[in-house]
Amino acid sequence: MIELHGFGKDYGDFTAVKSLDLKIEAGETFGFIGPNGAGKSTSIRFLATLLKPTRGGGSVAGHSVTADPVAVRQAVGYMPDNFGVYDGMKVWEFLDFFAVAYRIGRSQRKQIIGEVLELLDLTHKRDDFVNGLSRGMKQRLCLAKTLVHDPPVLILDEPASGLDPRARVEVKALLKELRRMGKTILISSHILTELADCCTSIGILERGQLLMHGPINEVYRQIRRNRIVEIQFYENRDAGLSILRSCEALQGLEIEPTRVVAELATDDAGLADLLEQLIREGVRMKSFNDKDPTLEDVFMTVTKGLVT
């Protein structure tokens, strides 16, 4: 649904994006992660037909971004990182303005605006002035305007930036709802945890280069060389600790009053064997938890160049 082929962009002598290859399948929610200045907005602006590439190209919904930008705009709902709302305009007028721009007929517009306001939970703000809305509401309105022409693809540049925790949660819930509706979503953020539970795949960008991308579980698996297991003993803690210490796969052990964290160079079968041994030797545990790495772990490992 979204493809980049050797996309690159120079600003004068400065290379913002070197050569980016990316493929996002229909129905995916793809998280584009990278620190400030990594080149996320540059790549996104290209896909939204707002920027000419220096090298390479790409396509959205089967249309070439450079050869057929009008078809791409029809297929894309784009939310920029810095959006403006117009003074003196009411919420419904703002949406109507974009609906007209997408050449949606007068008879359909009222219904579509009603549906979009409903979806974004903005119906009660229909007749409010846009510039009087809170930041969270403005952000939601901006998301609403990306939906008026019912595009199959949404490209959202930092849609949750500057929002308070409640508004962030609401944006994430909306993204999940949009995915359920079958939209393909590209969403950028430099806040890793923001994307962790709403993306099906991620790409990590640093200094204009994609360091890693793929389904979120696969990316986790690739960097997961060692397993981190958190154990809470209930009885026979000393026996449990001695089993852990004699385990060949043990790479590290943190002993805390209420829990023990073991780092083990092993796989699922190795963990199952260890658990079985602990139980067999009479160690009772409240929990034996194979911890998933967080997106921060992934990011730090990848950007340290530990993964090639």
Ligand X SMILES: Nc1ncnc2c1ncn2[C@@H]1O[C@H](COP(=O)(O)OP(=O)(O)OP(=O)(O)O)[C@@H](O)[C@H]1O
Q: Is the CB of 18 or the CB of 145 nearer to ligand X?
A: 18
Q: Is the CB of 40 or the CB of 109 nearer to ligand X?
A: 40
Question: What sign does the dihedral 95-99-101-102 (CA atoms) show?
Answer: positive
Distance CA 29, CA 24 (A): 8
Q: Could you tell me the smallest distance in angstroms from the CB atom of residue 130 to ligand X?
A: 24
Q: Could you tell me the smallest distance in angstroms from the CB atom of residue 300 to ligand X?
A: 17
Q: Is the CB of 18 or the CB of 63 nearer to ligand X?
A: 18
Calculate Rg over the CA atoms of the chain: 24
Strands (E), 44-168: 55-60, 63-64, 76-79, 153-157
Helix (H) or strand (E) holding 111, with range, is: helix 106-119
Q: Could you tell me the smallest distance in angstroms from the CB atom of residue 9 to ligand X?
A: 8
Q: Is the CB of 8 or the CB of 39 nearer to ligand X?
A: 39
Q: Could you tell me the smallest distance in angstroms from the CB atom of residue 162 to ligand X?
A: 12
Q: Could you tell me the smallest distance in angstroms from the CB atom of residue 207 to ligand X?
A: 9
**Binding residues vs ligand X (CB under 6 A):** 11, 14, 16, 34, 36-42, 81, 190
Q: Is the CB of 144 or the CB of 205 nearer to ligand X?
A: 205
Strands (E), the chain: 2-11, 14-24, 29-33, 55-60, 63-64, 76-79, 153-157, 184-189, 201-206, 209-215, 227-235, 250-255, 260-264, 284-291
